[in-house]
Amino acid sequence: MPEPHAPIGARVVGVLGGMGPSATVDFYAKLVRHTPALRDQDHLPVVIWADPTVPSRQDALLAGGADPTPWLEEGVRHLVDAGAQIVVVPCNTIHAYLGPVMADQPVEFISIIDTTVEAIRLRGTRRVGLLATDGALASGIFQSAFDASGIECVLPRPEQQQKLMRLVEAVKAGPVEHRMRAQVAELLADLREQGGATTVAGCTEISTLLSDLDSDEADVIDPALELALRTIERATPR
């Protein structure tokens, strides 16, 4: 078997994906786009296990649905067996379950929640809006992390939260359309009205819709992008 041509000393990145598929594609695209490479061989070695059969995180957190933990454990096993040295999961809500799953794994785990908090701290921001699924909000994964770092959190009004959930479902169901990006802009405007000038796009389906937004009107922290940047940093040889 030929030796890999990745940068000497680069660590193998394992992506536990499929939650949902478009979010996995979006994350990998960001990983590739931001890797400082001049040729194919300069990119990081990546293993992706994308399992769309992982039970609904929303049902599990809100309605007593199936616990996704066994699916996560199996996915991590596949990544480790494939040689992954770093594991990342481009889904915000599922991080409510990942602590115990990753606790004793022989790999480095990079949390999308932790990288997001660090990005906020580096900006010096103390008040952010949060776009996240009902399940993520119910689990408190973002709010507790924000509280621990002294960051105030502004949430959408109930009717706007309902629009967000319909938008997330639409992204999971089919291709991204221009009207979906317009709806994200409306959600951001609602949070700005409440004092959340900077907003965390705390759902990876929302992350897929962030392109083409007017940067002058939308100060957005994209957790998927922050996770990609941290992954590149940790996996690239020094």
What is the pLDDT confidence band of residue 176, given thresholds at 50, 70 and 90?
A: confident
Residues 21 and 53 in one domain: yes
Same domain (yes/no): 124, 205: yes
Please give the tally of structural domains in the chain: 2
pLDDT in tens, 52-63: 999 999 999 999
Same domain, 121 and 192: yes
Looking at the fold, whether 212 and 135 belong to one and the same domain comes out as yes
Residues 135 and 147 in one domain: yes
**H, E, C per residue of the chain:** CCCCCCCCCCCCEEEEECCCHHHHHHHHHHHHHHCCCCCHHHCCCEEEEECCCCCCHHHHHHHCCCCCHHHHHHHHHHHHHCCCCEEECCCCCCHHHHHHHHCCCCCEEECHHHHHHHHHHHHCCCEEEEECCHHHHHHCHHHHHHHHCCCEEECCCHHHHHHHHHHHHHHHHCCCCHHHHHHHHHHHHHHHHCCCCEEEECCHHHHCCCCCCCCCCCEEECHHHHHHHHHHHHHCCC
Residues 151 and 177 in one domain: yes
Q: Is 91 assigned a catalytic role?
A: yes
Q: What is the CATH number of the domain that holds 160?
A: 3.40.50.1860
- pTM for this structure? 0.92
- 87 shares a domain with 52: yes
Q: Do residues 122 and 66 share a domain?
A: no
The mean pLDDT of 213-236, rounded to a whole number, is 84
Among candidate residues 86, 203, 206, 218, the one labeled active-site is 203
**Which structural domain range is residue 105 located in?**
13-111+226-235
- Shared domain for 29 and 102, answered yes or no, is yes
Q: What is the mean pLDDT of residues 9-19?
A: 96
Has residue 5 been placed in a domain? no
Average pLDDT over the chain, rounded to an integer: 92
Which one of 79, 91, 131, 153 is the catalytic residue?
91
Residues 29 and 123 reside in one and the same domain: no
The yes-or-no answer on residue 203 being catalytic is yes
Same domain? 93 vs 178? no
What is the reported pLDDT for 180?
87
